[in-house]
Amino acid sequence: MESNLTLHTESPEETQEVGRIMGVAAQPGDVFLLEGPLGAGKTCLVQGFAKGLDVTGFVRSPTFVLMSRHQGRLTLHHIDLYRIQDPEEAWDLGIEEQLFDDGVCMVEWAGQAGDIFPEGCLWVHLDYAAGITHRTITFSEGSARYQPMMQTLSETFSPVRDAGV
Ligand SMILES: Nc1ncnc2c1ncn2[C@@H]1O[C@H](COP(=O)(O)OP(=O)(O)OP(=O)(O)O)[C@@H](O)[C@H]1O
Ligand SMILES: [Mg+2]
C-alpha cells in the first residue's frame, strides 16, 4: 500500500487550494473518496477541485440531489452519499457508470457505500484540528496513479508528520 500523506490547513481558502492542486493534477478515471464529519470541508475541497479543472460556476453541495455533473477540462461527477440508508442505494443510483467513465469522481460520505468502490481509489479523510478553522486532510490507499499528485501536494504544503515517524 502507498504511504499516507497528511496535510494541515488553516482556512477554507487553504483547503480549496489543496483541492485546486488536485484538480490540476487529476487524470481521466480518477476517483476520490471523501470522508469526515459534517462541516469538515469535503464540499470546500470539491469546490477547489472544480476550479483546478476549470469548471465554471459554483459547485454546490449535491446533498439533496445526490449526484451532479460539471464540465471542465474533464467531467466532474460530484456525488454525496450522506442521505443513503444502505449501500445498495449507491448501486441503485447507478454510480458505477460514473466510476468507470473517463471523467473524475468526488464522492462525499463514500464510507456509506460500503465496499462498492474498486481498490486503489484515493481516500481523502478530512477532520477537525485544534483551532476553529484548522483541518487535517489525510490521503490513503490510492494506487500508484495518484503518486504524482501526492508528490505535488507534499511539495506545495508541508506534510504533517505522523506521531512516531
Ligand atoms: N480549514 C478549513 N477547511 C475547510 N472548511 C473550513 C475550514 N475552516 C473553516 N471551514 C468552514 O467549514 C465549513 C465546511 O463546510 P463543507 O460544506 O465544506 O463541509 P462538508 O464536509 O462538505 O460537510 P457535509 O458533511 O455537511 O457535506 C465551511 O463553512 C467552511 O467555511
Ligand atoms: Mg458536503
What one-character-per-residue DSSP string does 90-130 give?
Answer: HHHTTHHHHHTSSSEEEEETGGGGTT-SPTTPEEEEEEE-S
Nearest-atom number in ligand 1 for the CA of 9 is: 1
Q: Is the entire prediction scored with pTM above 0.85?
A: yes
Q: Classify residue 140: in a domain, yes or no.
A: no
In the chain, the number of structural domains is 1
Q: pLDDT tens digits, the chain, 165 residues: what are they?
A: 457 999 999 999 999 999 999 999 999 999 999 999 999 999 999 999 999 999 988 677 666 678 899 999 999 999 999 989 898 898 888 888 999 999 999 999 999 998 899 999 999 999 999 999 999 999 999 999 999 999 999 999 988 876 444
* Rounded distance between C-alpha atoms, residue 127 and residue 82, angstroms: 16
Q: Classify residue 164: in a domain, yes or no.
A: no
Nearest-atom number in ligand 1 for the CA of 34 is: 21
- The enclosing domain of 50 has a CATH number of 3.40.50.300
Q: Classify residue 4: in a domain, yes or no.
A: no
User: CB under 6 Å to ligand 1: residues?
Assistant: 9-12, 14-15, 36, 38-44, 61, 82, 108, 133, 135
CA-nearest residue for atom 3, ligand 1, is: 12
* Rounded distance between C-alpha atoms, residue 116 and residue 100, angstroms: 12
Range of the domain at 31: 11-121
C-alpha distances out from residue 85 to 89, 94, 99, 139, Å: 7, 15, 20, 26
Residue 7's CB is within 10 A of a number of other CB atoms, namely: 20
